[in-house]
Amino acid sequence: MSGLSRRDLLRNSAAAATLAWGAAARASAPVAKTQGPGVYRLKLGTYQITALYDGLWPIPINDDFIRNASRAQVNKALETDFLAPNILPISFTALLVNTGKKLILIDTGTAGQITDSAGTLLANLAVAGVSPKQIDTVLISHFHPDHINGIKTKDGTKVFTNAEIQVPEGEWAFWMDDSNLRAASGTVHKYFLNTRRIFRDIAKDVRRFSPGGEVAPGIMSLPAYGHTPGHCAFMISSGSDNMLVLSDSVRDPSLFVRHPDWQPTFDMDGPTAVDTRRHLLDRAANDRLLVHGYHFPFPASGHIIKAGRDFELVSVQWTPL
């Protein structure tokens, strides 16, 4: 029997059976309206790292989405991972680091201010048993809205009321500069305005760091320019364990791990972003580093292996603690 005829048979008999069994059915559970919690913990030395899912933003792919790849090439890459064509499912996963003494949140999610299908970070933080006021430090990789919007609610209230906010000096210098704002247009202009909405009235609480040094216990900031002018990655180290937090230097793995030379319009300086991406992917592969990518599919951690001139992501396999 072919698969098709089996399915046809099944559909017909299912319809009949539903009639018969439906009458006797108990009150069934309603179909759930939301995904299960997105909270995944892993041990890094004596630290506990918790991946917190914020959701997903499906964006249409137009012909200009990648400066140096066609829509057909992008669709082929999506198909390889059994993803629908013409839509990029942009996933958001932030990291909570518990050093045992300090709680550090790396990037803050969309706060539901970008798309209805994202904004679950605080709900997942609650599932993880942590309230926003317990966060000691908020570390920001760069000033795109999906990374900084969680700092405030839509009405401007600070969310992490006791946290010191640390941001890359290069991001502050670029985005808070009024001549840059005046020179900007379109989406980027909106990003400038959003940066002011988030930071202007809390500037005194924001600590700016130059990348290359320690920004929190066991967390080193790394310059990773190109995606934005001051974009940073981080290295979390505890004992002999290390995790490379790629931030947006390597975005959606279906596209940019397999095709690190592709330059999405998201990357403000395409060639520099490619250099940074290749440098960090090479380092991750050579040192067999555990990596986290903000736009990797939840739980957004894994390892990088070389595949010819390019790379593959080997996602972590879910385990209990």
In the window 140-199, what residues touch a second copy (CB under 8 A)? 162
**Per CB under 8 A, which of residues 45..64 are in contact with a second copy?**
48, 50, 53, 55-56
Buried b / exposed e over 240-278, threshold 16 CB at 10 Å, is ebbbbbbbbbbbbbbbbbbbbebbbebbbbbebbbebbb
Phi, psi of 317 (to 5 degrees): -95, 125
Spatial neighbors of 21 by CB under 8 A, at least 6 apart, are: none
DSSP lists the bridge partners of residue 310 as: 307
The residue (of 179 and 319) whose beta carbon lies closer to a second copy is 319
Phi, psi of 213 (to 5 degrees): -120, 180
Site map (CB under 8 A) of a second copy, residues 4-23, x = contact: --xx--xx-xx--xx--xx-
**Per CB under 8 A, which of residues 20..39 are in contact with a second copy?**
21-22, 25-26, 28-29, 31-39
Q: Near a second copy by CB under 8 A, which window of 64-72, 140-148, 234-242, 271-279? A: 234-242
The residue (of 46 and 62) whose beta carbon lies closer to a second copy is 46
317 binding a second copy? (CB under 8 A) = yes
Phi, psi of 30 (to 5 degrees): -65, 150
Buried b / exposed e over 124-150, threshold 16 CB at 10 Å, is bbebbebebebbbbbbbbbbbbbbbbb
Distance in Å, CB of 275 to a second copy, minimum? 18
CB 139 within 8 A of CB 105: yes
204 binding a second copy? (CB under 8 A) = no
Q: How many residues bind a second copy (CB under 8 A)?
A: 78
Task: Using the structure block, give the residue that is written with the tokens 């319809």.
Answer: 15
102 binding a second copy? (CB under 8 A) = yes
Distance in Å, CB of 256 to a second copy, minimum? 14
Distance in Å, CB of 294 to a second copy, minimum? 14
The binder of a second copy chosen from 151, 220, 243, 273 (CB under 8 A): 220
214 binding a second copy? (CB under 8 A) = yes
The residue (of 136 and 267) whose beta carbon lies closer to a second copy is 136
Distance in Å, CB of 266 to a second copy, minimum? 19
Strand order across the beta sheet in which 301-307 lies: 214-216, 219-223, 232-238, 241-245, 290-292, 301-307, 310-315
The binder of a second copy chosen from 154, 190, 288, 306 (CB under 8 A): 288
**Per CB under 8 A, which of residues 70..99 are in contact with a second copy?**
80-83, 89, 91, 98-99
